[in-house]
Amino acid sequence: MFFIIHIDETFTSGFRTINQIVEKIIKNMGIKTTSDYVKFYINLDIQGKVSLLSFIHNEKMVLKQKLENKKLDKEPIINGIKILEGLIEEIKKDGEPKVLEKYNR
């Protein structure tokens, strides 16, 4: 998948490298809430093939690997891990169907 984007000068001012620009784009497009994660899972259309819980565990593993990259901003990654851990607890408590229903509104 490729994205073609236009980056204007005001968006990129103050940044010295393309890596800094890409990091800002990723940070601004990232998943920031529990609802975002559940909707992302639903939009992947993998229900019935991969459970939400398996998807969450996989996402958490990916984020933990990203923490090892010293060039990435750690705050959004740590926040994502906390959101996923909260979702895991919610699924354990209420069950996957209720969690899917709750955040798919």
pLDDT tens per residue, range 35-82? 988 988 888 888 989 999 999 999 898 889 888 887 888 888 899 899
Question: Where are the chain's structural domains?
Answer: 15-103
- Say how far apart CA 105 and CA 101 lie, in whole Å: 7
pLDDT the model gives residue 23: 53
What tokens were used for 90?
């919610």
- Say how far apart CA 22 and CA 17 lie, in whole Å: 9
Which residue do the tokens 């996923």 mark?
84
Predicted TM-score (pTM) of the model is: 0.68
Which of these, 92, 94, 87, lies nearest to 39 by C-alpha position?
A: 87
Mutual angle of helices 34-43 and 96-103, in 10-degree steps: 100
Residue 77 DSSP one-character state? H
- Say how far apart CA 56 and CA 3 lie, in whole Å: 25
